[in-house]
Every structure is written in C-alpha cells, then in structure tokens.
Chain A
Amino acid sequence: MAVCVAVIAKENYPLYIRSVPTENELKFHYMVHTSLDVVDEKISAMGKALVDQRELYLGLLYPTEDYKVYGYVTNSKVKFVMVVDSSNTALRDNEIRSMFRKLHNSYTDVMCNPFYNPGDRIQSRAFDSMVTSMMIQVC
C-alpha cells in the first residue's frame, strides 16, 4: 500500500510526514515537496469553482519510474499526499480515494481535538496508527 503519507499545511510546510522505514526518508520528503508543484497548479486551475462542487481528490499527481504520487486537498487548502509503489498495480483509483477519505476523517478528528493548535505538527497516536494501517503491506 502506501509507502509515504504526508499532510501539508495551507502554507505548504509539512504537518505530518511518514514513510516506510526501510527506505531513504529524505527521498520521500523531496518527492512530497516536489509534488506540491502539481498540487498548486491543480488548485489554481480549479480556481473559483463552487466549493461544494469541488472535487477534493486530485488524482495522480505525477508518475515516476518507481512510485506514483497521489494528491488530495481539503477545502481549507490542507493537502494530503500519498506515495504508492508503482509496482502495486492492484491498487485502484477508488481505493486510493477511500484511503484519502479515511485520512481526511482522521485529520478532522485531530483538528477537533481542543488541545491541537491548527498549524502545529500533528502528534496524535490515533492519526499515527491510522497511517500505519494504511502503510501495512496487504499482500
């Protein structure tokens, strides 16, 4: 499943970023960071479309040889980025969508926490375990 999951603040700094421990963490950081180019572009292309009609899921941001990067943006411009192994062809668009929805729900829970200050880095066990569940190899 996912090899890296990131939550990016409206101002484009990372709120949460986690990748599989087996690989170079820095690589994923760069990958998520560069994917923001595409996210920015997609958001600006959406322009002034009505908020309720807007699709939050941005789809495949850009493919690399080894990974696929997907994006999702909330109405408050918080971005979720997920990196998936290219070889994992079993993963359908719909599943990615539902993973993002799960992520969004969990993020909403974090935001609902009165002790969480929006804009701070996310340090939540519930969120952590949810991300872990998304990163477990299914096969």
Chain B
Amino acid sequence: MASERAAALCNACELSGKSLFVLPHTDHLVGYIIRLENAFYEHAQTYYYTEIRRVKSHKEFLNKTTHQLLFVRHQFKIAFFSELKQDTQNALKNYRTAYNLVHELRAHETNILEIKTMAGFINYKICRLCFQHNTPLDAIAQFRKHIDLCKKKIGSAELSFEHAAWMSKQFQAFGDLFDEAIKLGLTAIQTQNPGFYYQQAAYYAQERKQLAKTLCSPEASVTYPSPDPLETQTGALDFYGQRPWRQGVLSFDLSDPEKEKVGILAIQLKERNVVHSEIIITLLSNAVAQFKKYKCPRMKSHLMVQMGEEYYYAKDYTKALKLLDYVMCDYRTEGWWTLLTSILTTALKCSYLMAQLKDYITYSLELLGRASTLKDDQKSRIEKNLINVLMNESPEPEPDCDGAAVKTAQKLWADWVSLAGSNVFTVGVQHLVPFVQCKAKFHAPSFHVDVPVQFDIYLKADCPHPIRFSKLCVSFNNQEYNQFCVIQEASKASEVLENLTQGKMCLVPGKTRKFVFKFVAKTEDVGKKIEITSVDLVLGHEAGRCVVLNWQGGGGDAASTQEALQASRSFKRRPKLPDDEVHWDSVLVQASTMVISRVPSISVHLRHDPPALTNEMYCLVVTVQSHEKTRIRDVKLTAGLKPGQDANLTQKTQVTLHGTELCDESCPALLTDIPVEDLRPGEQLEKTLYIRCGTVGSRMFLVYVSYLITTTIEDREIVCKCHKDETVTIETVFPFDVAVKFVSTKFEHLERVYADIPFLLMTDLLSASPWALTIVSSELQLAPTMASVDQLESQVDKVVLQTGESASECFCLRCPAAGSVEGGVATGHYVICWKRTSAADSLPAISTAITLPHVIVENIPLHVSADLPSFGRVRESLPVRYHLQNKTNLVQDLEVSVEPSDAFMFSGLKQIRLRILPGTEQEMLYNFYPLMAGCQQLPSLNINLLRFPSFTNQLLRRFIPTSIFVKPQGRLGDDASIAAA
C-alpha cells in the first residue's frame, strides 16, 4: 500500500524512487535525518565537483599572455569550490597556486590595490586552512612570505595610509586566525602568539595615523568633491580592490588625471574622518590580552603605555592617566628610569590638561626627583610650575600640548585659582621617587627612660633650585609623642615658597639637612618599642594649598633600598665634609627604638654556702644596698626558682621566708613582690630566704629587686621604676650516703638470715657534704616482720661528721617468722635526723628516712649454739656447752663427733648418736683443756643430720666459734701487776 503510494508520488513528480525520503511521525528521527543529510551532501558534492570541472574546462582555453588575470580568478574559483566540497587539501593547493599567480601579475600604481586586496584574500584563505590542518608553522611561513612580498608595494604615495591600513588589517586578520586556532586547541608559546600580530597591526595603524595626518590635512577651503567620485551606480564595486572611478580599466595609463586627483582627494578626506586612535587602542588591548596570557608582563606594560599615549592623543586623558598610572610602578620597581621619565612626562601633560591638582603635583614630585632623566632646564620649569601651583597660581602649560586642549586647561586652572580654598594633598611617597629624600634615625637602638629620646630626620632635595617647606612632623606608634616632634615656621603664605637659601626651613639641592628632635619617653612605655610610623613634610602653606609628602616608617622611597645596597657595597672614599654635614649614603635608617628602664643604682648581694643539701632549709641571704641619691620606695623583692626551667624542678623546690619550720609542698617555688621597707641613700637591708630542694641537681635562682624613684629629666619630674636582678645557680647534693649490711653475730657477711637466729644490722653513714653535719638523732624503725634482740638505742646522737667521715651503728635483730617470702622480708626504715653544724639552732633538723633492704630468711633444721668463756688459759679447764636445738617438727637423728685438736685435750662424748624431739634441745658438755697459748683452733664439732643431708658442717661453723684465744699460764699476783700497770 505504502510502496504503491510512494511509486505514484514519484511518478507524479517525475522523481526516481531513490530521491524519495520518508519522515515518519515518531520521536526518533535521527536515522532518517542522517539519511537525508547524506543524500544532500552527496548532491552538493556532485554539484561542486561539476562546478570545478566546468571552471577547469574554461581554464584550458586561457593563455598566460592575454588572460593573466583570469588565471587567478579561475584558480581561486577552483579552490573555493573545493573548500565548499570540504576537500580542504585540494583547496589549499589551489589557493597556493592562485597566490603565486597573483604575484606574477604586473603590478602598477593603478592596480596595486587590487593585487594586494586579492593577495590578502587568498592569503587569509591559505592561513586559515593551514591552521585547520593543524600546521601552524605553514600558516606562519605563508603569512611571513605574504608580508615580505607586499610590504614594499605601497602604491600611490598620496594614498600611502591606505597601504598602512591594509598592512594593519593583514596582521590583525592573522592574529584573529591564530587566536581562533588557539581556541580550538592549538598551543602557542611566549615568543609566538597572536599578541605579536596584534601589536604589529597596531604599529601599522599608528603609521596609518601618522601618514593620514600629513597627507589628509588640506586647507579648510577644500571641500568634498561633488559629484562623489567614490559613488558607483550599483552602490558596490564590481571587483574588489578597484577604484570606483575607473572600474574594469585594465590599462596602466591614466585616461583622466583630473578624475584621478578628485578621487584621491575624496579618499583622503574620507580618511580624515576615521578615528584612528580607536582602531589602535582596540588592537593594542587585543595584544595586551594575549601577552597577559603568555607570561609577558613587560610587553604588556609596554603596550599599556602605548595605549595610554594613544588615549592621550585621543584626548581621553582620564583613561590615559589610569593606564599610565597602572604601569608606572612596574618601571619604577625595575629601575628603568628613562622609561619611567617618559611615562611621567606624558602623565604630567594629561594631569595638566585636566587640571588634576593632586596628580599634577605627584608627577612633578617624581619628575624633579633623582630618578628622572630630564634635563635641568626641564626640571627648573617643572619646579617653577610646582611652586606656582602650591602658591595657588596657574602653572605654565606643558610643551607639545594640543592648543585647544591647553585653552580648556587654562580655564580649569583659573577656576582653581579663583576657588582658592584650603586644599591639602597628601602624597604617599614611599612608593615613588620624590625629589625630597628622607631618612629618620634614632640616636641609639634603646634609650633609658630617664634620658630624653633623640633622633634625627635627614632631608635632601634633588630638585634644581632650593625649596622651602613649611612644616616637618613625625608620627609615632604612640601618638602622644607626635606633638613634640614638629618643626613649623609661622610665616605668611606668600613667603613660604620664596627661594631663600637661608633659614632652617629651606632645602638646598644636594645638601643633606639634619633636624634633631628630642622628647621624653613616658614611663608607661618602658619595655616598649617606639616606632616612627610616618614622616610628613609639608610644602606650601597649610592655610592655602599644600602638599604633604608622607613617608611611611623612617623614610626611604622606591629607589632607596637599591641605593643603600650599592652604597654599602661601595668602597669609594667619600669626600671630606665640614663637621656639621653628613654624607647622605652614610646615614642608615633606624626607625624604631626601645625604651628601657632606668639603670638601677642599687647593689644586690647574695650570701650563701653552696652546695645545698637535699631537703635542707638552705639559707640564702640577700643584701640590698641603695646607692641612689634620693630615697627609694616601694622596694619589692622577688626571689626563687627562675621561671622557664624544668617543670619538675618547680614542684621539688620551695622557697620561704620562715626558716623555723620545715616548708611543705604548699610553699611556692618563686616568692613574688615581697614588700621591703624604703631605703634611704646608702642604706642597706638584709633578707633571709630559705630554699628547700627536694632533688639533687643544679637550679637557677633569681633574685629581683624593684623599686620606685623620682627623678628629674628635662625639668620634668618622673617616677621611674627600676629593677635589678641577680641570678645564681645552686647545686644540690645528697648530704650523706647510707650503706647497710647484714652480718652474723660473728660479724661475717650474710647473704641470708636464718629464722629465729639473731643477726646484726650495720648501718654506715658517710658524709658527702662539704660542710660539717650534725646527726641529731637516728632511729631504726623495724618492720613487723623483724624483732630486736635488745634495746634499739641510737649510737650516733649528736655526732658531728666532717666531710668524708662516717658514722656506723649496729643493731642486733632477729627475724621470728619464717614463711618463705618471695624477694625477702622487709626490714624497716632507718631515720636520720640531721642539720648543718653551722646552722642556727632555730632551724629545724631534717629527718631523712632510708628504706632498709629486704633480706632473705631461711629456715634451718638444727640450731647449734655454744656457751664458752671469752678466753681460755693454758692448762686450765675450759668448759664448753653446746646447745643443739631441733627447729623442725620431726624427731631428728643425729651423729655428733668431736675431732681432736693439737692444742687441746678434752673430755666429753667423742662420738655419739642421739635423737632430739621436735622443739626440744639437747645439751652437750665438754671440758677442753688448752695446751698452747694464742689463738687456737677448737676441736671441731661435727654434726651429721640423717634427715637433712644439706645441713653441713660448713653451715654449723657459722653458729659456733671455731677458735678461742688461749692466754699463757699465768702466775698468781699477775693480775694485780697488770692492774697496776
């Protein structure tokens, strides 16, 4: 059904079935549209293909001698059709051929415009296609070739501006193409970017303006020719680049010179109406945008200067100033003074023409300065103008200004004069290079509060003529000082700027002027910095018109840092100057000073006996003596641990004024502001401090004495707070070392003690103090696990120990319980109460507790003790009784034997086996009979426990004596003779 209808439709329209495209009513038309598009595309392709064929067939009939122009035309057509056919490669090839053909044409003054126009068109096409093919270098090469070929083809001299305009257009067009290519993804570089082309376009536009200015300024009588030679019947040209008054003329000869003249005149007059500046500025701003992108800040600045100058020519002074002002600082910071001067000169003209007072003054300041490269006569002129302006008169017009604009400006200036109001202009000069240089210098980096603060302000003028100023004032961070630092000359307005070389308010060019200021610092500012925040120099009169040169900080401007650096490097000898003058370069800015407290005139002495001993009340005597001429009051003492040391020290150090009682944790480490009575001149006082140091090590102690005194300075009475501090480092040491050992009742060293068997505890106290120590008392505090055998009385009470001496004590102890305790049994504490021997009685004694070591307690199955006299005598009976105690819960079988000894005879059981019941005791009685005198080995008792093989005779020997001293046989009465001796 549908196909039938389609066939019918095709029939009716005389179409082939292929040419019918159906668009159904659905939402998805994409496929159908693509089909349709392809069909159109194919048709178009075929059409252009045939068109190209047609043109080519025409071309075959041409010959080079007579149809030179048509060659270009045909080639262009082929290329253009190829381009439409989207065959860009062929298009490019054909355009190139066309371009070459254009330049084969014979150029003459009459057709040169046409040739250039065509060359321009074709060049545009080629470049565009090259960028499209992503071969930017080809595009650039083509453009360069194009420019080189056409640069010199100026044509008629009377219309040379036309050539410049064309050149400008070429560069601009290429810049546009380049920029477009970049937008599509091409990357440009710093040295090859569209900016250069826009810049060049702008230069040609400027050239065009210049040429137009010289060529198109006929006398006023010349009027635009009528009829208009530029008018054509159709209103348009038949061929691009031809003159309207002779279209289609191929001859090089001018058939009608008169008509030609009129035509040229018409073009010239038309050119006169072109706003060149606008074109130039647009191109420049395009270039600026590009250079900004490609990291060319200086190029950008340069172009902005040119834009500013162009605005100046266009009489848009506001915009000109804005641009120039913007870039000025770039040139200033980089130190290109020639360029800066040139910019400033233009800016000064702009500000003059607008009668912008403040700008006019600012630029004058800088043009008179040392950075300006103007000649002296120029500077004189500017200075004179500046003085005129400050005296509320009109300045002379700047040279080379447009006459009409000057007239307007003069009127504006006259308005200013008539207003005559008070107007003060403040110019921040630290970013400029003004003609007055300023340096502020405090005499010292710090001043005592009882000495006036002094500083100098150095001024130097660089202008050609001496200049007077009316006021110099200095501002400080503390504004209360400002009132003291003002130099002002009360004079009538008219006198202010007279060029008098005398007078203190006058700056002579090249001479350094010094102004000394002096003021008394406030006592509240002690410890603070006084800073010069700004220096203001007033030119002109404050009642009338004046300009305030304002330096932030202690002077210095945009160029002074570099100059100071150069001066510091230089080792050139400076010529000798009179004493009251200084070299400018040798003055260094010092814009701040410290106010420090008055030098105290008291002495603080510390008396003490180092080192300190741990925990003692260390006595530190502070002696304060006043050497002041007047009474000092509000004397306060701060003493203690110097802050800022280890935090642990703070907790382990206490300071107190009361030595009679031991200080505890609550005492501070630093006592602040202890009031002390006033001191008369020469008077001295003493204060005793007690310091308790809980740990050994060195500590820094601070003793700080502050007081108030009234003094007179510069006829003013001030109350000064003075202070003096002393620090001392005190070492703390242990007063003594305590050594403890356990020994058996035989004074043999014990590693362990045996349960229930008495042993000795020996303490040894070795004085480590360099000072004598008095042991007030000592006490043994036993742990519950220990018991004393006899009374625990101190044996070292009131003993005085010198350095290195030691005091020992001995206690007999017993350890009753015998549970096997891991790590031994606690013994208790040994508490020593001591003080320095030299310490006053009122000082409390310090008790030092020493924890005694733990001891290992062991049980033994059998305890043997012997009862025997302390000595024997030869051939006298010596009764010995051995007690054998069973310490176990078992019945013990034991073998006892006594080995004979050479020194003794003995009676008693020599060998026996016996049995001892638990907890009971067996006695063995022997009678020894010594045979020899001296210290003799006793017959050794050997016991063998059957149940406890570990109980050796070695162990046994610990409990019983193994030898005895035997005295020789004495005669009767001997004792008496000994007693007598």
A contacts, CB < 8 Å to B: 11-14, 17, 25-26, 29-30, 33-34, 36-38, 41, 61-62, 64-65, 115, 117-120
Q: Check if B210 is an interface residue, CB within 8 A of chain A.
A: no
Chain A contact surface mostly: mixed
Query: Could you list 30 A-B pairs, sorted by A, with CB under 8 Å?
Result: A11-B334, A12-B334, A12-B335, A14-B338, A17-B338, A26-B339, A29-B336, A30-B302, A30-B305, A33-B302, A33-B331, A33-B334, A33-B336, A36-B298, A37-B295, A37-B297, A37-B298, A37-B299, A38-B191, A38-B296, A61-B191, A62-B191, A65-B200, A115-B572, A117-B566, A117-B569, A117-B570, A119-B569, A120-B566, A120-B570
B196–A62 touching, CB < 8 Å: yes
A26–B566 touching, CB < 8 Å: no
- Expressed in whole angstroms, the Cα–Cα distance for A131 and B665 within the complex equals 86
Total contacts A-B at CB 8 Å: 66
Q: How far is the CB of B631 from chain A (nearest CB, A)?
A: 60
Q: Which residues of A contact B571 (CB under 8 A)?
A: 117
Most buried by A among B191, B200, B295, B571: B191
Q: Which residues of A contact B203 (CB under 8 A)?
A: 65
- Expressed in whole angstroms, the Cα–Cα distance for A62 and B190 within the complex equals 9
B342–A26 touching, CB < 8 Å: yes
A62: nearest chain-B partner, CB-CB: B191
- Expressed in whole angstroms, the Cα–Cα distance for A61 and B196 within the complex equals 13
- Expressed in whole angstroms, the Cα–Cα distance for A117 and B564 within the complex equals 13
- Expressed in whole angstroms, the Cα–Cα distance for A1 and B297 within the complex equals 29
- Expressed in whole angstroms, the Cα–Cα distance for A66 and B566 within the complex equals 37
Q: Check if B979 is an interface residue, CB within 8 A of chain A.
A: no
Number of interface residues of B (CB under 8 A): 27
B569: nearest chain-A partner, CB-CB: A117
- Expressed in whole angstroms, the Cα–Cα distance for A69 and B245 within the complex equals 46
Q: How far is the CB of A37 from chain B (nearest CB, A)?
A: 4
Q: Which residues of B contact A36 (CB under 8 A)?
A: 298
With A34-B302, A117-B569, A118-B569 known as contacts, the answer to whether A29 contacts B338 (CB < 8 A) is: yes
B296: nearest chain-A partner, CB-CB: A37
- Expressed in whole angstroms, the Cα–Cα distance for A63 and B566 within the complex equals 35
A13–B191 touching, CB < 8 Å: no
Q: Which residues of A contact B422 (CB under 8 A)?
A: none
A33–B298 touching, CB < 8 Å: yes
Q: How far is the CB of A42 from chain B (nearest CB, A)?
A: 9
Query: Could you tell me which residues of chain B, from 188 to 220, have a CB within 8 Å of some CB in chain A?
Result: 190-191, 196, 200, 203
Q: Check if B565 is an interface residue, CB within 8 A of chain A.
A: yes
Q: Which residues of B contact A115 (CB under 8 A)?
A: 572
- Expressed in whole angstroms, the Cα–Cα distance for A61 and B298 within the complex equals 14
Q: Which residues of B contact A62 (CB under 8 A)?
A: 191, 196
Q: Check if B562 is an interface residue, CB within 8 A of chain A.
A: yes
- Expressed in whole angstroms, the Cα–Cα distance for A125 and B482 within the complex equals 52
Q: Which residues of A contact B336 (CB under 8 A)?
A: 13-14, 29, 33
A34–B191 touching, CB < 8 Å: no
Most buried by B among A26, A30, A61: A30
Query: Could you tell me which residues of chain B, from 320 to 348, have a CB within 8 Å of some CB in chain A?
Result: 331, 334-336, 338-339, 342
A117–B338 touching, CB < 8 Å: no
- Expressed in whole angstroms, the Cα–Cα distance for A25 and B342 within the complex equals 11
B334–A13 touching, CB < 8 Å: yes
- Expressed in whole angstroms, the Cα–Cα distance for A118 and B566 within the complex equals 8
Beyond known contacts A14-B335, A14-B336: 15 more, CB 8 A cutoff: A12-B335, A13-B335, A25-B338, A26-B339, A26-B342, A33-B336, A34-B302, A37-B299, A38-B190, A38-B296, A41-B190, A64-B196, A65-B147, A65-B200, A120-B570
- Expressed in whole angstroms, the Cα–Cα distance for A48 and B334 within the complex equals 25
Q: Which residues of B contact A29 (CB under 8 A)?
A: 336, 338-339
Q: How far is the CB of B698 from chain A (nearest CB, A)?
A: 50
B200: nearest chain-A partner, CB-CB: A65
A37: nearest chain-B partner, CB-CB: B296
- Expressed in whole angstroms, the Cα–Cα distance for A17 and B387 within the complex equals 34
